[in-house]
Amino acid sequence: MDRNNHVFMPSNKGLFYSDVKNDVAHVLINTVDKNKNKYMVKQYSDARKARSIQDMIGHPSTVHYIKYVEQGLTPNCPITKEDIICAEDILGPNLGSLKGKMTRKTTERVTLNSLDNLPNELLSEYGNVTISVDIMYINKIPFMMTTSHTIHFGTAEMIKNETKSTIIKSLQQIIYTYHRRGFKIKHILGNRQFECIRLHME
């Protein structure tokens, strides 16, 4: 973070500004007007024409654009390689040719710490868990939803149907998830839809 103080003073017209001419902490950006002053009027006009044609033929990259012109792949093209280079210098990179062509770098894999060994103090106080279950529909697709009391851990699993065997299998996977971490499911709360699995779960 830049800790230098920047003083803003009012101009003659009342607009406040900060003079950064001698401030090495700032980077000044070249503008089109400043860049085009290096070229003659015809060169600037041809550069604008080159950029316009680049937009019309689908925003090729500068390298490919020069290749098209040099190899005569654009019939009756009135521009040259020099016009394309001038356009790049005056107007900057063609943003249309950059969109969708930047490659995404592979990020480093995130390593999660194992939660298998929880502190004994945590398990002694919250080890016995009560969960509430229900089936919720999203776009007509059933999901088994659970949430645990006290520790407030929630799960959501898409299930193929609401048959007894499917419900039992889904709950067994949830119970196994808790048991792997040292928790014990003591009570399962649900509506009448889960009455059919009461004896099995007991």
| Beta-bridge partner residues of 146 | 133, 155
Angle, CA of 71, 99 and 97, to the nearest 5°? 20
- Tokens, residue 41: 């009027």
| Distances, alpha carbon 182 to alpha carbons 2, 92, 124, in Å | 49, 61, 10
Are both 134 and 85 inside the same structural domain?
no
Highest average pLDDT, of 4-13, 31-40, 91-100, 147-156, comes from 147-156
Among residues 66, 98, 130, the one where a domain terminates is 98
* Residue labelled with tokens 């009012």: 10
Are both 89 and 22 inside the same structural domain?
yes
Tell me the pLDDT band of 186, cut-offs 50, 70 and 90.
Answer: very high
Q: Is residue 110 part of a domain?
A: no
Q: Is residue 50 part of a domain?
A: yes
Q: Is residue 86 part of a domain?
A: yes
Are both 130 and 188 inside the same structural domain?
yes
Rounded Cα gap, residues 82 and 46, in angstroms: 9
Are both 75 and 134 inside the same structural domain?
no
Rounded Cα gap, residues 33 and 26, in angstroms: 20
Are both 75 and 130 inside the same structural domain?
no
Residue whose C-alpha is closest to residue 197's, from 158, 177, 176, 169: 169
Number of domains in the chain: 2
Least confident of 4-18, 27-41, 58-72, 107-121: 107-121
Q: Is residue 4 part of a domain?
A: no
Q: Is residue 103 part of a domain?
A: no
CATH number, domain with residue 149: 3.30.420.10
Evaluate if residue 115 carries a pLDDT over 60.
Answer: no
Residue 134: domain span: 120-201
**Residues 19-29, mean pLDDT to the nearest whole number:** 64
Q: Which amino acid, residue 29?
A: I
Are both 20 and 92 inside the same structural domain?
yes
Res 1: pLDDT:
44
Q: Is residue 39 part of a domain?
A: yes
Q: How many residues appear in the chain?
A: 202
Tell me the pLDDT band of 181, cut-offs 50, 70 and 90.
Answer: confident
Rounded Cα gap, residues 166 and 163, in angstroms: 5
Spell out where 57-140 has E strands: 128-138
Rounded Cα gap, residues 161 and 140, in angstroms: 11
